[in-house]
């Protein structure tokens, strides 16, 4: 049976953090110091988890971290993942009059049986230039590169890494040449650091032919510096970009996290992911596996579920599937960012996998 939570959401997207080590120390994510690590698992363990979950209705796997390209053998792991075949999710057969509306949440994730798994990667891009083509050849479908300034000095201030900018730009261009497409660039906006980069990123999207997606800063950072005033909101981003060029909204699938816009002249696309000012939890289709093999049902979960412990005790694939069904049944309805009852997540972003 396909995976559904108790709110009727189909779980089709899996994010696997393959390490919680990172070579960057971005201000919105980490402190400037090395913290303790949860550690990571052999790829064979992640592969088994992915195989069981793909058998349960997962159609898309995103590798993340930490920085996933720090792991040796990530190319071989992608090659093995690419052999998995989603089971296919049929839209529910409609008996009521509003069948089209009922089927809508399934449309973006629907895969025909036998169609390849959608394998994506989120990376800071520092090591991507050398690896883009091998990853593409191994079966990677798409890549998202995080880049928070188009000005090299500002980039260094945010990432706390000198000279990273040229590596990342080379990585983006190599990914494009390799055909890792569509290519998205994620920019977390944090007031006081990079809100003046909005228009330069609009220009960048047009010049480089990439989709730049602005992300609202969420309270998942190690330094606990988040406050509502540090968030650069969707409305503010749109207003600033409109000073540069008019935008036209592009219709997007309900399960997509980003609102999408193209420039009116047809050149360039941007997206805005606004979990703080415009939450989209009602359409969440994700679960995450941390680098140490725990399932998290929400970025803001205050607990996680030890899938790897089940494997260590010798659980069969069927027992793992039962465990996963039980975990997904506990998926949170929504996050509570900015509300009086907000409780910080039990892990920060670098140890969850964004
Ligand atoms: N190292 C990889 C990278 O830089 O893309 C993958 C891991 S990183 C944790 C995944 C994504 O989470 C990145 O796009 C990053 O910008 C985003 N991120 C990290 N901390 C965040 C925060 N506090 N709020 C919003 N997004 C955050």
Contact present, 254 and 264 (Cβ < 8 Å): no
Q: Is residue 53 helix, strand or coil? A: helix
Q: To test ligand 1's pocket by mutation, which of 186, 291, 337, 354 has the most ligand atoms within 8 angstroms of CB?
A: 354
**What is the per-residue burial (b if ≥16 Cβ within 10 Å, else e) of 96-120?**
eeeeeebeebbebbbbeeeeebbbb
Domain ranges of the chain: 13-351
Q: Looking at residue 114, what is its pLDDT?
A: 66
Which residue has the least CA distance to atom 14 on ligand 1? 146
Spell out the alpha helix ranges (H) of the chain: 43-54, 74-81, 99-107, 128-138, 152-159, 164-178, 198-208, 234-244, 307-312, 317-328, 349-352
Q: Whose CA is nearest to atom 2 of ligand 1?
A: 123
Closest residue to atom 12 of ligand 1, CA basis:
354
| Closest ligand 1 atom to Cα of 144 | 5
Nearest to 258 by CA among 266, 249, 248: 249
- Out of 349, 350, 351, 353, give the residue to mutate to test ligand 1, the one with the largest number of ligand atoms within 8 Å of its CB: 349
- Four-point Cα dihedral 305, 253, 281, 19, nearest 10: 40
Residue 184: strand pairing partners: 144, 211
Fold of the CATH domain 13-351: TIM Barrel (3.20.20)
Question: Does the Cβ of 64 fall within 6 Å of ligand 1?
Answer: yes
**pLDDT tens, residue by residue, 79-114:** 999 999 997 544 443 333 333 333 333 344 445 556
Question: How far, in Å, CA of 250 to CA of 64, rounded?
Answer: 27
The secondary structure of 81-115, three-state, reads: HCCCCCCCCCCCCCCCCCHHHHHHHHHCCCCCCCC
Ligand 1 centre to CA of 35 (Å) is 16
- C-alpha distances out from residue 305 to 59, 203, 295, 332, Å: 21, 43, 5, 13
First to last CA, the chain: 27
Residue 282 to residues 108, 279, 286, 323, 354: CA-CA distances in angstroms? 15, 8, 11, 24, 18
Cα distances (angstroms) measured from residue 17 to each of 50, 68, 70, 267: 12, 7, 12, 34
Ligand 1 pocket: which of 159, 188, 216 to mutate (most atoms within 8 A of CB):
188
Q: What pLDDT is attached to residue 100?
A: 35
Question: Do residues 188 and 148 lie in contact, with contact meaning Cβ atoms separated by under 8 Å?
Answer: yes
Q: Which residues of the chain fall short of a pLDDT of 70?
A: 1, 88-114
Q: What is the pLDDT of residue 109?
A: 47
Confidence (pTM): 0.93
pLDDT tens readout for residues 212-270? 999 999 999 999 999 999 999 999 999 999 999 999 999 988 778 999 999 999 999 99
Residue 127 beta carbon below 6 angstroms from any ligand 1 atom = no
């Amino acid at each position: 049976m396909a995976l559904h939570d108790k709110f009727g959401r189909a779980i089709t997207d899996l994010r696997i953090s393959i390490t919680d080590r990172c070579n960057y120390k971005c201000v919105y994510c980490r402190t400037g110091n090395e913290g303790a690590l949860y550690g990571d698992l052999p790829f064979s363990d992640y592969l088994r988890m992915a195989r069981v979950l793909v058998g349960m209705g997962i159609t898309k796997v995103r590798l993340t971290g930490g920085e996933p390209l720090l792991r040796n053998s990530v190319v071989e792991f992608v090659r093995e993942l690419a052999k998995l075949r989603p089971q296919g999710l049929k839209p529910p057969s409609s008996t009521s009059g509003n069948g089209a509306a009922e089927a809508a949440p399934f449309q973006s994730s629907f895969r025909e049986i036998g169609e390849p798994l959608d394998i994506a990667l989120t990376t800071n891009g520092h090591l991507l230039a050398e690896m883009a083509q091998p990853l593409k050849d191994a079966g990677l479908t798409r890549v998202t590169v995080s880049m928070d300034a188009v000005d090299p000095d500002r980039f260094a201030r945010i990432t706390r890494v000198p000279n990273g900018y040229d590596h990342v730009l080379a990585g983006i261009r190599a990914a494009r040449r390799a055909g890792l497409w569509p290519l998205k660039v994620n920019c977390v906006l944090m007031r006081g650091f990079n809100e003046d980069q909005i228009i330069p990123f609009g220009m960048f999207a047009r010049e480089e032919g990439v989709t730049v997606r602005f992300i609202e800063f969420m309270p998942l950072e190690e330094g606990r510096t988040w406050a509502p005033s540090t968030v650069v909101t969707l409305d503010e981003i749109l207003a600033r970009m409109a000073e540069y060029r008019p935008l036209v909204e592009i219709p997007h699938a309900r399960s997509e996290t980003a609102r999408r816009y193209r420039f009116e002249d047809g050149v360039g696309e941007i997206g805005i992911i606004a979990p703080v000012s415009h939450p989209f939890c009602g359409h969440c289709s994700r679960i995450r596996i941390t680098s140490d093999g725990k399932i998290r049902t929400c970025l803001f979960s205050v607990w996680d579920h030890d899938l790897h412990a089940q494997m260590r005790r010798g659980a069969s694939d069927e027992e793992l599937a039962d465990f996963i069904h039980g975990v997904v049944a506990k998926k949170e309805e929504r996050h509570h960012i900015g509300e009086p009852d907000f409780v910080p997540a039990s892990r920060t972003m670098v140890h969850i996998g964004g």
